[in-house]
Chain A
């Protein structure tokens, strides 16, 4: 069965500190993984996808198939990064994407 695990409900850091939001997945096959972000009073939106190997707003995420992980990282957190972050496995066939339970990132001044 597909599963996405985000072990931390809340991650609180100070501005300028490094950030790592953890995500582990369970999937038989080649996974497509995403990070979504939801800022206060805004809709859920895509932050980045593993396949494009890009950096968005300073965030990066590397797929580690050996550890079945897709952790989200940023070297220096900013206050505007405070939001809810969801890791997800992409939709397959007619099956909906599988979302993790989400991690709230709180960046303190």
Chain B
């Protein structure tokens, strides 16, 4: 299994500013992902965080808006840039271990005002 620590757990931000979310895993993992989740709704994959290379973004998400770093196999950051109220959501870090099971951080609840 993998234990994921994600922070901050919540934040309220002014529009036009940026927030960086950190994800720390207690073991080395190859696959790390970032999702967005509206409360009580489905998960939307933002990107795959690749160690040592640029992240792979899903349709509708771009690097300028959601830059991602993955400096090693246990850590990643997601930045939400130039925020607007539409970015208010829960952001989740997830990893896949040796099997195909996914593990999740506790999420970052972002409110943009």
Show the binding face of A for B, using Cβ within 8 Å. Answer: 32, 34, 36, 42-46, 49, 84, 86, 88, 90-92, 94, 96-97, 99-102, 104
Contact = CB atoms under 8 A, between A and B. Distances in A.
Interface residues of B, number: 21
A43 B104 contact: yes
B113 interface: no
Given A96-B45, A101-B42, A45 B104 contact: yes
Interface centre among A34, A44, A94, A99 (most CB of B within 10 A): A44
Interface stretch (B11-19, B68-76, B77-85, B94-102): B94-102
Contact of A96 (B33, B42, B101, B103): B33
B44 to A, nearest CB: 9
A87 to B, nearest CB: 11
A97 B96 contact: yes
A102 B43 CA distance: 9
A44 B42 contact: no
Contacts of B103: 46
Contact of B107 (A43, A90, A96, A102): A43
A84 B41 CA distance: 8
Contacts, number: 55
A43 B106 contact: yes
A19 to B, nearest CB: 18
B92 A96 contact: no
A92 B94 CA distance: 15
Contact of B40 (A36, A88, A104): A104
Contacts of B96: 90-91, 96-97
Nearest to B6: A43
B45 A100 contact: no
B5 to A, nearest CB: 11
Given A86-B43, A90-B100, A101-B41, A96 B31 contact: yes
Contacts of A91: 31, 96, 100, 102
